[in-house]
Structure 1
């Protein structure tokens, strides 16, 4: 018997009054979407509320979000996602597909993903932006709960702007991952890893300067086109969030 398969979909569009409407807001199984008040003018906020534990072994979860021209959407989660072992053997999948039109903005700010011992999860996040779109994307991964070893976790992030590839990277950690993932050239013994991807049209003419910060455990790198990538390592999730929030404040929320 296979695991759970679920797809949640949402689409944000201008409401004609300076705000953002949600003509599509479809929950599915354990993926429940709830609209809340936005933090910025014209913005609508949606939280993903997990209706059950997971993803477990064999589960297939997918989130699809589209933001139309003139809309502003903040998309997050109410709590951390915990990848767990389950009755069904094999890899679980969690796929996120984000599409943002020109003159639209998306803030994808979920709570951390925790890889519990014995789990096996492959996460893909694919972002497609039209030229002139704006994006803030945060990913945080915690390798193991307190006092336990990590599960197997593979995470791939791709970004296209105006149909042009800008970023395609993958990190695999835990049992069965390629050798050296915990060595000094990759995680260096850290158990929390995160990244912040910021895309703004003004970065094309004024790129974010490359630099190293937080005692060498975080970097800011300009990408080709209107994008910047922050990568950070930390001993735990609290330190990781503090580092990423600090860089985002510098870049301007």
Structure 2
């Protein structure tokens, strides 16, 4: 059977969700944390419809998407059937997509510059929707990666909250792939604490247990739940 056959996808995803949830539970116990303090965000980018349906069947309601257009295709027709669905934008956002993002997402995790803060504020004024905001911090100062630099994070947080009236509730980061993640998670927690922010979106399939131990409130897990993604073929 192919991976796109529901008969093969559903049991696999069900089992994967069970494993990840148990690992989250055991990590919370070891860290002395309440299980309810950690929310699993299922990263559903590039997944086929049957995978989304299988995830929903496990009771999962919080999903992360990287692109506005793909998220619209995934969720626009499903929202009415799942009123408790929470959609989180976890990929970079262009200012010209701000209105569409504000219309669709409940949380935008990737605010990383002043220009985007202004665009989001304008989009909220236009649409009447007010998604919650996380500021993405480039903890490793990687030039190829989105996110405000740690030394500039306080200023952007203040500007987003006080200058643009955005509901900034926390921070997000993606540590460098070739470094231990814990120092980056601890740095993010320090920035959040001094700015009075309670939400920390950090940790992915390879390091979500370390992130929980460092205080993550949201972990973004994709491949550990859905299996390795197969990139779509580029048109010839």
TM superposition score normalised by structure 1 = 0.28
More strand by share: 1
TM superposition score normalised by structure 2 = 0.30
More helix by share: 2
Q: Which structure would you say has the larger RCO, counting Cα contacts within 8 Å and 6 or more residues apart?
A: 2
